């Protein structure tokens, strides 16, 4: 359950997409907030949109991939210095991601994720939720 302060935040989905033992991450454009840092792909939910609808729309626009399903919400973190509440959600996709809005897309192991310069909420997710867990 969200607190009153969290209810006033702007919800943003971060798609946690796995392929074998790798995770899909994208490098943010230099001109945007956290430019040049790596993130799990996604974007803001529009009014009335479900997680699935938002994920499908955002990933089609940003990566030209199809979302098959959204699963469990794994973690939430407020992006420091903003009104964004980032919700990390398991997502299953179809297609090969293309860097349409990002500088680069990459499949990384958990060990590789720990070496990337990640956006603050993504760093928190990797450290607090993924650390020590097996990739399945």
pTM of the model: 0.89
What would the 3-class secondary structure string for 67-106 be?
Answer: EEEEEEEEEEEECCCCCEEEEEEEEEEECCCCCCCCCEEE
Q: Yes or no: say if 54 and 46 are a contact pair by the CB < 8 Å rule.
A: yes
What structural domains does the chain harbor?
7-130 (3.90.79.10)
Nearest-10 Cα torsion for 109, 123, 135, 52: -110
> How do residues 24-67 score in pLDDT, each as one tens digit?
999 998 888 888 999 999 999 999 999 999 999 999 999 999 99
112-131 tens-digit pLDDT: 999 999 999 999 999 998 87
| pLDDT (tens digit per residue) in 87-117 | 999 999 999 999 999 999 999 999 999 999 9
């Amino acid at each position: 359950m969200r607190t009153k302060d969290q209810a006033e935040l702007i919800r943003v989905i971060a798609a946690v997409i796995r392929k074998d033992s790798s995770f899909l991450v994208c490098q943010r454009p230099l001109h945007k907030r956290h430019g040049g840092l790596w993130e799990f792909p996604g974007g803001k939910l529009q009014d009335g949109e479900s997680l699935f609808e938002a994920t499908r729309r955002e990933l089609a626009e940003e990566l030209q991939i199809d979302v098959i399903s959204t699963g469990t919400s794994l973690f939430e973190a407020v992006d420091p210095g903003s009104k964004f509440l980032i919700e990390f959600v398991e997502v299953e996709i179809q297609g090969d991601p293309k860097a349409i809005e990002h500088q680069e897309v990459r499949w990384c192991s958990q060990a590789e994720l720990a070496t990337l310069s990640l956006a603050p909420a993504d760093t928190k997710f990797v450290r607090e939720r993924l650390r020590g867990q097996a990739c399945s």
